[in-house]
A and B are shown apart, each in its own frame.
Chain A
Amino acid sequence: MSQKRVLIVDDQGELRKLVRMTLDFGDYELHEAEDGQRALALAKVIQPDLVILDVMMPGEVDGYQVCEQLKQDNSVKIPYVMLLTARGQKSDLEEGERVGADSYLVKPFSPLELIQKVNGALT
């Protein structure tokens, strides 16, 4: 069985490193992108099974927009999208629902919980 591909999208290098270290136990093939545009470009190439996506990112495309495009773009295998947000407010959750996100993780998050969620989504 081939390894599932996980794309980690966050503008903060340290956060990407944290997610990578959390999930780096051999089951997954991990990829990183530091902004929305790079994430969309990379997704086309690697066709990820799951995307961990920071919502608040600088640049042209924020996390919600990335999610919306991933869920609509037929050329990409539609991945499972887990939004990483610093807030857990109702308006954020509603926006996530609107763009078709599958689940949320609120910063600061527990790495163990992240593993559980990712495992749950990919099996």
Chain B
Amino acid sequence: MEKFKILIIDDIEQNIFALTTVLEKNLNFKIKGISSAIEALSYIDQQAVDLILCDVQMPNMDGFEFVSIIRLRKKTANIPVMFVSAHHKEEAFFQRARELGTIDYIVKPIDEEKLLHRLNTYYTFALREHEKIKELDALNNKLSLNKLFSESLEKKVKERTRELDSILTLSPDGFVLENVDKNIIYINPALLNMTGFTEDKFIGKSAEIFSDAMASLYHSDFMNETNIIRNEDCEYTIYLSRPKLRVINCKQRIMYGLTGEKEGQVLYFRDITHEKEVDKMKSDFLSTAAHELRTPLASIYGFSELLMNRDYDKKTSSEIFETIHRQSQNLKKLLDELLDLSRIEARAGKDFYMHNHSLEELIKQSCDEVEGAFKGRKVDIQSTGFWPIISCDIDKIRQVFNNLLSNSFKYSPENENVLLQTSEREQNGIRHFGISIIDKGIGMTPQQLSRIGERFYRADESGVTPGTGLGVSLVKEIVSIHDGDVDFVSDIGAGMVVTVWLPIVSN
């Protein structure tokens, strides 16, 4: 605490001097004397004062008036005041002094010892008060800091909860949280979607109920164990038969608290059905491709070895040479188409050179080329007279029509022509131009039709009709990159109608 500031108000300068001399004995006191109550009012307005010693009998404004005034002012209302006077010793005087809230009253002549002792006591008391206030202030500061801190913590926790909630809600993978009492406390929407469960069925319920519900969805062909929740970190695959066939990768992690005690468990479910399917498709494709490559290779390898080791007459050997050559061509075509297909798939059309072309010119070129390969047979074009401009990679689209036209010739009787018709449709505000290729060939059963476009699928599996089983796959890939699609309509013995739909750029 700074020095204890005492203000002495007395109209008689000698009294001020005398009091100051006494009080200065306490070095903690800082004394100020003012000889007019009016002046003192303005002084205490500007300066802090710890105690006032005030004479009662003064001209212009007496002690009572002075104290009344300072009690009215907020800033000065609480300054302790001690009256000093030789007069007014009646009870009425003391009564008035008490009403004004003065703390003490000293009678002249002043007993120095007594005055000093009293003031020292006040000082000690004030000092203690001051310490207490300081302590309280410090405590208050601390409290409000604590409050701020806990508020910011609370805010952070809320933010983090919201973040986690958004992540878990958006996650395509399923999450289930279990508390230390093995009760389910959280299930995210992805898991509900995966299983068809409703959340309220499990929240707050035992994990066993959840485990049993999961088990009711299991595919019995693949799942022996039904209890999925284990008391350790683990990872395994589960197979669901309901609500639909799914393969799910499941991981379990135990959550530990700060002191290493178990707090609960997280169950994580990732639907890997599609990955499994893609993996299987890839390996099926590879092994089928390898098989298809071996077939022509077997002819080439075998016949050439026969030629090297045996003497054949000219006719037979030229037949063998022809076979070898034809199978080499098959092999080449198969490789080309395999490469085309994988390149188109991998690049997703990025190496397609799209330009505007007249479809009429393109179709007529394709017809000429295919007619050249199937001597004596013709494509009859039935056009509405309208041919649009389309945006396409001309080589790829030519490949589409060459492929489809050759197929139509291959699968229809030797003496039959192929018909090509044009049409138009509008779909989702986009105009499409349709080119239908119609043959009178063997047609396809609905079952065969459903497999058309499948890699290596051949309607004629005997190998009599040449082909790789990749042509239609390629056609579909190419057309889809042109934002078009391909329809197949057929029935057994009723021929086949293949329609390629391409978006029209302009007339």
* Chain A interface (Cβ < 8 Å from any Cβ of B): 11-15, 17-18, 21-22, 34, 56, 58-59, 86-87, 107-112
Chain B residues in the interface with A (C-beta under 8 A): 287, 290-291, 294-295, 297-303, 305-306, 309, 320, 323, 327, 461-464
**A86-B291, A107-B298 known; A112+B309 contact, CB < 8 A:** yes
Quick check: A18 and B303 within 8 Å, CB to CB?
yes
Rounded to whole Å, the gap between the CB of B319 and the closest CB of chain A is 9
Task: Tell me how far the C-beta of A3 lies from the nearest C-beta in chain B, rounded to whole angstroms.
Answer: 20
Once the chains bind, are B462 and A13 in contact (CB under 8 Å)? Answer: yes
Q: Which residue of A lies closest to B327 (CB)?
A: A14
Among A59, A86, A111, point to the contact of B305 (Cβ < 8 A): A111
Asked, given contacts A14-B299, A110-B302, A112-B305, whether A86 binds B462 with beta carbons under 8 Å apart, the answer is: no
**Chain A facing B: main interface SS:** loop
| Contact A108 B294, beta carbon cutoff 8 Å | yes
Interface of B is mostly: helix
Contacts of B291 in A (CB 8 A): 56, 86-87
Q: List 17 A-B contacts (CB under 8 A).
A: A11-B461, A11-B463, A13-B464, A15-B299, A18-B306, A21-B303, A22-B302, A86-B291, A86-B294, A87-B287, A87-B290, A108-B301, A109-B302, A110-B301, A110-B302, A111-B302, A111-B306
Chain A residues near B301 (CB-CB < 8 A)? 108-110
Compute the total of residue contacts between A and B using a CB distance below 8 Å: 63
A109 touches B298 (CB 8 A): yes
CA distance in complex: A99, B472 (Å): 36
A107 to B424, CA, bound (A): 49
Q: A22-B302, A108-B302, A110-B302 are in contact. Are A34 and B294 (CB under 8 A)?
A: no
Q: How far is the CB of A34 from chain B (nearest CB, A)?
A: 7
Question: A22 vs B320: C-alpha distance in the bound complex, in angstroms?
Answer: 12
Contacts of A112 in B (CB 8 A): 305, 309
Which of B290, B294, B323 interacts with A14 by CB under 8 Å? Answer: B323
Instruction: Give the residues in chain B near A86, CB-CB below 8 Å.
Output: 290-291, 294-295, 298
A18 and B462 in contact, given A87-B287, A111-B306, A112-B305 (Cβ under 8 angstroms) = no
Q: Output the least CB separation between B336 and chain A (Å).
A: 20
Expressed in whole angstroms, the Cα–Cα distance for A76 and B77 within the complex equals 128
Taken together as a complex, chains A and B put the C-alpha atoms of A108 and B287 apart, in Å, by 15
